[in-house]
Every structure is written in structure tokens, then in C-alpha cells.
Amino acid sequence: MVAKRRPVNKKTVKHRGKGKILFYLCLILLIALVVYLNRGTLHSLLWPKETIAGQSNDDAEPGGPDETVDAPDIKEPKEEDDDEEEADEVPEPDEYLILVNKDISLPADYKPEDLTVPNVRFSFAGPHERQQLRVAAATALEELFAAAEAEGYYLYAVSGFRSYQLQESVYNRHVSTKGREYADKISARPGHSEHQTGLAMDISCQKVGFDLVERFAETEEGKWVAENAHLYGFIIRYPKGAEDITGYNYEPWHLRYVGKEAARYIYENGLVLEEYLEQKSRE
């Protein structure tokens, strides 16, 4: 009996041992599967808006996105010519008329000191870095949204401040998955996003699903914004037809704070910020 039982017991022990290994293997596989299936969720946690919109860069659609750079090479800070280098650097980063575009970049360590979260509706739940704006822009945005609401238009803030580091991760991720050429088309290089100034906010409305799309311009909300933003110190930074100058496609959702005086002048004269600053520098 004993002799018979022993092999049975051994077998059972062995079997249990194998069972355990199998169990843990299955567990690991299951965890791997869950992680794999949820990678979109994890991704959206890391890159909130981007995944929601299915686009790059916190902003809009391919081909027309916020930080779209379908233009020639972005100049790195020049070294060959001292005068030009100075001209290419942002003179006073604290000015509201700060100019950032494909050619002119902000230093990696530039981060406004007076960032705050405006008291407006957002298209997403915070807290998040991109809710922030500089104080003057935040106050102006609150006034703009309140004025819109008084007329029955409900605007939503989608994407404001973006640090150099966040832009860098976004850009590098596109480079590693799709190559530099493609990355440059759909994403601004780090330092070249106007969102790093803390003076830009992308806005949207319910009718376009809170997305950053050209259709926003055709909504009542979008039309109201185009006609009234300047009264609060904002301009539509990338208007239709100015692609050659701004380097960006039409972005009716991208508001840039420049202060009331500049905004009114730019609006009334149909200029873009580059043209306005050039005129100003000649005065």
C-alpha cells in the first residue's frame, strides 16, 4: 500500500508543481495581454488630448494641425552670424508680443513664471499642465468666455501651456515611430511651439466634439470668436491664407494673446503677428 501510494503522492506533488508553474505562466500572459490591450488607455493617460483627437501634438488633425510644420527645415539657433543669431532669438521672452515660429524658438529652459489656470470650462478633466496660461492671458480668456456665454455661446479650453519637455517628448515620439520627415509635418520641434509661451490657448465647442478642427470656424461659436477675440486681446494666430507667412495651416481654434491694442490693430488691418511685428520694428 505504502509502496503504491508513494508514486501517486510524488505524481501529485509533481503535478501540483507543474500546475503552479502553468498558473503563473498564465497569470503573466494575462497581465501582458491586459497591458497590451490597455496600451491606448495608458497612452491617453500619458498623452491625454493627443490620443483623444487621434492626432499629434495636443492639437488637431493631420494636415491642418496646430503645430503642423510642413515647411522647409526649421533653423536651429544660428552660429555663423552673431548679429543674425541675436535677431533670431526671442528678445524679451516676457513680452506679450513674443514671436515663436518655425524660425524662432524659445530656449529649452523658458517657462513663464506667472502661469495660472483660468477659470473657464475645459474639454477635459484636470489638473494638467496644459490648462495653464500666463496671468494676463488667463484673465483675458475668462473675459472672452464670459462674453461668449452671455450671448449663448459655450466655449471650451482644450490646450494651453506646453512645456519644452512635453513638446520634446511628443516630437521625439513621432520621430521614433514615423521618422523625422513625418514628425516635422505634424509636430513642432521643441522650442518652436507657441504653446510654450503660455500665451496660446486652443479652444473648441461641443458641436465639433471639442476637437481642434477647421469646422470650428463654421460654428456659431467659432464665428463669434473670430469676430470678438480681438476685443479681449486675442488673435487667431494662424488665419486662412497666411500659411506662407506663418508656416501653419489655418487654425481657427488657436488663440494667441497679444494684448488689446495689438490684437485690435492686427484684426482691423488683416495682419498676422509676423507682419505686425515687422511693421512695428520699422516705426
Q: Which three cell numbers mark 180?
A: 523625422
Q: How far is the CB of 57 from Zn ion (least distance, A)?
A: 8
Q: How far is the CB of 273 from Zn ion (least distance, A)?
A: 13
Q: Report the residue number, 153 or 248, with the smaller CB distance to Zn ion.
A: 248
Taking Cα atoms as reference points, which of 160, 233, 158, 237 lies closest to residue 203? Answer: 158
As a whole number of angstroms, the distance between CA 124 and CA 181 comes to 31
Q: Report the residue number, 201 or 262, with the smaller CB distance to Zn ion.
A: 201
Q: Report the residue number, 106 or 283, with the smaller CB distance to Zn ion.
A: 106
Q: Which three cell numbers mark 171?
A: 516630437
As a whole number of angstroms, the distance between CA 157 and CA 83 comes to 39
- HEC string of 168-221? HHHHHHHHHHHCHHHHHHHCCCCCCCHHHHCCEEEEECHHHCCCCCHHHHHCHH
**Interface residue list for Zn ion (CB under 5 A):** 59, 66, 202, 254
Q: How far is the CB of 167 from Zn ion (least distance, A)?
A: 11
Q: Report the residue number, 78 or 90, with the smaller CB distance to Zn ion.
A: 90
Cβ neighbourhood burial of 66 (10 Å; 0-12, 13-18, 19+): buried
Q: How far is the CB of 135 from Zn ion (least distance, A)?
A: 19
Cβ(161)–Cβ(129) under 8 Å? yes
Q: Report the residue number, 57 or 219, with the smaller CB distance to Zn ion.
A: 57
Q: Report the residue number, 54 or 77, with the smaller CB distance to Zn ion.
A: 54
Q: Outline where DSSP puts E strands in the chain.
A: 115-116, 133-134, 156-159, 200-204, 234-238, 251-257
Q: How far is the CB of 110 from Zn ion (least distance, A)?
A: 17
Q: How far is the CB of 160 from Zn ion (least distance, A)?
A: 9
CB 19: neighbour CB atoms within 10 A? 11
Q: How far is the CB of 32 from Zn ion (least distance, A)?
A: 37
Q: Give bridge partners of residue 254 from the DSSP assignment.
A: 202
Torsion of CA 202, 55, 51, 145, to 10 degrees: 10
Q: Report the residue number, 50 or 66, with the smaller CB distance to Zn ion.
A: 66
